[in-house]
Amino acid sequence: MPDQPSDGHNGPIEDVDVVVVGAGMAGLYAVYKFRELGLSVQGFEAGAGVGGVWYHNRYPGARVDAESISYSYYFSPELYREWRWSEKLAAQPELLRYFDHVADRFDLRRSIRFSCRVTSAVWNPDAARHVVTASTGPSVRCRYLIMACGHLSAPRKPGFDGLDTFEGEWLQTARWPHSPVRFEGRRVGVIGTGSSGVQVIPPIAGEAEHLTVFQRTANFGIPAQNTPADPAIHKSISDRVHDAYEELLETPAALFAELPTGRACDFTPAEQLELLEKRWTLGAQNMNLVFTDQGTNPYSNEIVAEFVRMKIREIVRDPQVVSKLLPREYPISTRRLAVNNGYYETFNRENVTLVDLKAEPIVHFDATGIQTTHSHFDLDLVVFALGFEAFRGAIDATGIRNAAGEAPTDKWTRGPQSYLGIMTSKFPNLFFVTAAGSPSVLANLFVQSEYHVNLIAEIIQHAESVGATTIEPTAEAEAAWSTHVDDLARPMLRRHHPNYMVHINSDDGSRAFIPYPAGFNRYHHEVRQYIGNDFDGLVFK
Ligand code: NAP
């Protein structure tokens, strides 16, 4: 039963050891793991069910862009063995069934408060507790606060002039409704052609009376090349789940993938073409893996980019549309490849129009649609696929405050600050999963979530074993790690082109790379070095 607090908090309050914010892949495993360790756990989830981004991003065409055989939990060999993905790249409904299965199998729901958003989490230094307040139910006092809320989970809000006057309907891919959306007989507009946009566009085009795609920046779209799942691969991993997990930790993206064998200049043009065709046929993120130097050498990168442009030219019939679709503004793979099913083919349909927003920007919405600088588009439904308040959106929304009343991102003015991507100085007993400073979006988030939760558990167990009540990284360790992360990115093309992984200071244009860029395997070894060296950089008191 909730008791009355003695630490200045008004209202009923419950005490637990661990609070977990979010019930996606990281949050579910965190609830499981900390309960297994004998700690009391309270989870909070804003959605009505489990799955995190896969709960909310239920738009038609939503599908994972990494192979499901790797993009799964590995902590339970029994779970791995009993769950069979039907396709190489699972679609959102199947992913959601997986999350539901995991939640039921390990009886996780009883520890999670659903449809409940954490509104503040304030550290009380005297009690060495966070006081967590949420939109429903009593507040909770906890020793450890785990932010498992994702780094691409707070959708960017559409801020278009006149949107409030639009008399049609509008939706966001990242907050897709649960009831079916009808496109038939409707004039639909989609704004945004990133990973979400390129997935939602083909199914809408197949049903709508007319689809207008509003593209600001042409993206490198790669076909998913999806196939039914191969039972032999499932069997081979099922026989050695723990070993397979350890093998994944030794790979650059925590994925089973065939790595490139040489720089572009190590191959003849004919050999290059063969490698490019092979990667195109493998599809999805494989296009990142043609040459070892395509992420650092502009010439090598351009060979890959031009190959993809050639494929676009081969698919799209109208030369004027092709010229708008050809990605030329940034090197390939400096943004995430936009994996899709039939995206470019969609532009051969009679009922699809492509609008280049660089040539004719949106001026405003009005009652009947969108006015650009050149034309008016009458629309019944607009779908926004505008991306996310990456890395900080969900952290800021949680209302975390330390003893000085500061938020974790207050010190991000010149770029994110973290230690190992899991903690930040002056915020004791606060942990992040797959956040800034860790490989995050650059590696398989299932494996990485397990890895981070295990790492956090190891740190907490050490604290308990030495009788410490607070754990905090030093400011020096944090500064060194944050500089190290950015230094590793300096030779990489992706640091030099704006995207959500790069923090750019508006005053002088200086920048800081946000996720750890040098491979999950290298990250893992660095982390083990710090932890093995008596938890170097962390202060236990
Ligand atoms: P995104 O990659 O950030 O793309 C957002 C799109 O919206 C871009 O085309 C952007 O144009 C456009 N946009 C933003 N503001 C705009 C404005 N005011 N006017 C016009 N256009 C605007 O977001 P996302 O597509 O949601 O993908 C984000 C990440 O989520 C991906 O990188 C990936 O990590 C993840 N994701 C994964 C999958 C998958 O696994 N299959 C699917 C979806 C998302 P500019 O390029 O010009 O900014």
| Angle subtended by helix axes 520-532 and 241-249, to nearest 10 | 90
| Angle subtended by helix axes 92-105 and 25-36, to nearest 10 | 10
CB neighbourhood size of 32 (10 A): 24
* CA proximity to 400, closest of 123, 198, 126, 89: 123
CB neighbourhood size of 101 (10 A): 14
CB burial class (10 A; 0-12, 13-18, 19+) of residue 155? Answer: buried
Return d(Cα 284, Cα 341) in angstroms, integer: 10
**d(CA 385, ligand 1 centre) in Å:** 6
Return the ligand 1 atom nearest residue 195 CA: 25
The ranges of the chain with pLDDT < 70 are: 1-10
Return d(Cα 357, Cα 423) in angstroms, integer: 40
**d(CA 499, ligand 1 centre) in Å:** 10
Return d(Cα 493, Cα 475) in angstroms, integer: 29
Give the pLDDT score at 398.
97
* CA proximity to 450, closest of 248, 303, 225, 301: 248
Q: 400 — phi, psi (to 5°)?
A: -75, 135
**d(CA 107, ligand 1 centre) in Å:** 35
Pairing of strands 112-113, 41-44: parallel
- Which residue pairs, CB below 8 angstroms and at least 24 apart, start in 485-491? 485/421, 485/437, 485/513, 485/514, 485/515, 485/516, 485/517, 486/415, 486/512, 486/513, 488/513, 488/516, 488/517, 488/518, 489/513, 489/517, 491/296
Give the pLDDT score at 11.
78
What Å distances lie between residue 502 and 308, 415, 437, 490, CA to CA?
Answer: 24, 9, 12, 11
Q: What is the pTM of this model?
A: 0.96
CB neighbourhood size of 503 (10 A): 20
**Pocket residues for ligand 1 (CB within 6 Å)?**
63-65, 152, 191-197, 199, 216-217, 336, 339, 357, 385-388, 441, 500
* CA proximity to 169, closest of 186, 193, 194, 192: 186
Q: Nearest residue CA, atom 43 of ligand 1?
A: 196
Return the ligand 1 atom nearest residue 160 CA: 18
Give the pLDDT score at 12.
87
Return the ligand 1 atom nearest residue 197 CA: 25
